[in-house]
Amino acid sequence: MLAVVGMGGIGKTTLVKKLYHEIHADFKKSSFLENVKENNIVEVKKKIIMDLCDSELEDPTTYLRCFQECWAKMKVLVVIDDVKETQIIELLGEDIDGIKRSENGSRLIMTGRNWKDFQNVILKDGKFQMDGLNEQQAMELFSWKAFRQPTPPHDFASITNEVVDACQGLPLSLEVTGSWLFTKRNPQEWKEGLSLLKNAKPFGGDCIENDKLWGRLKISYIDLAYEEREMFLDIACFFSEYNSKFERGVTVQKALQIWKVPSQYSSMSSLQNLMDRSFVKVNDKGNLVMHDQLRDMGRRIVKEASNHKYREQSRIWDKEEAKEVLFNETVTSNIQAIWLPENLQLPEEV
Ranges of residues in the chain whose predicted pLDDT is under 50: 350
Are 190 and 176 found together in one domain? yes
Cβ-contact 11, 19 below 8 angstroms? no
Q: Which of 205, 222, 239 is the last residue of a domain?
A: 222
Are 121 and 235 found together in one domain? no
What pLDDT score was predicted for residue 147? 96
The set of residues, in sequence order, having a beta carbon less than 8 Å from that of 145 and lying 6+ positions away, is 174, 175, 177, 178, 179, 182, 278
Examine residue 348 and state whether it is found in any structural domain, yes or no: no
Are 57 and 154 found together in one domain? no
Examine residue 213 and state whether it is found in any structural domain, yes or no: yes
pLDDT in tens, 272-316: 999 999 999 998 888 898 888 899 899 999 999 988 888 889 999
Are 206 and 256 found together in one domain? no
pLDDT in tens, 134-151: 999 999 999 999 999 999
Are 148 and 254 found together in one domain? no
Range of the domain at 317: 226-338
Examine residue 180 and state whether it is found in any structural domain, yes or no: yes
Examine residue 241 and state whether it is found in any structural domain, yes or no: yes
Q: For the residues of 167-203, what is the DSSP string, one character each?
A: TTT-HHHHHHHHHHHHT---HHHHHHHHHHHHTPPPT
What pLDDT score was predicted for residue 144? 97
Examine residue 346 and state whether it is found in any structural domain, yes or no: no
Examine residue 146 and state whether it is found in any structural domain, yes or no: yes
What pLDDT score was predicted for residue 124? 79
Are 119 and 183 found together in one domain? no
Are 118 and 66 found together in one domain? yes
Q: What is d(CA 110, CA 127) in angstroms, rounded to the nearest whole number?
A: 10
37: domain CATH number is 3.40.50.300
Q: What is d(CA 224, CA 240) in angstroms, rounded to the nearest whole number?
A: 19
Are 99 and 155 found together in one domain? no
Measured between its terminal Cα atoms, the distance across the chain in Å is 51
What pLDDT score was predicted for residue 342? 60
Residue 177's nearest CA partner among 226, 211, 225, 143 is 143
What pLDDT score was predicted for residue 92? 87
Examine residue 196 and state whether it is found in any structural domain, yes or no: yes
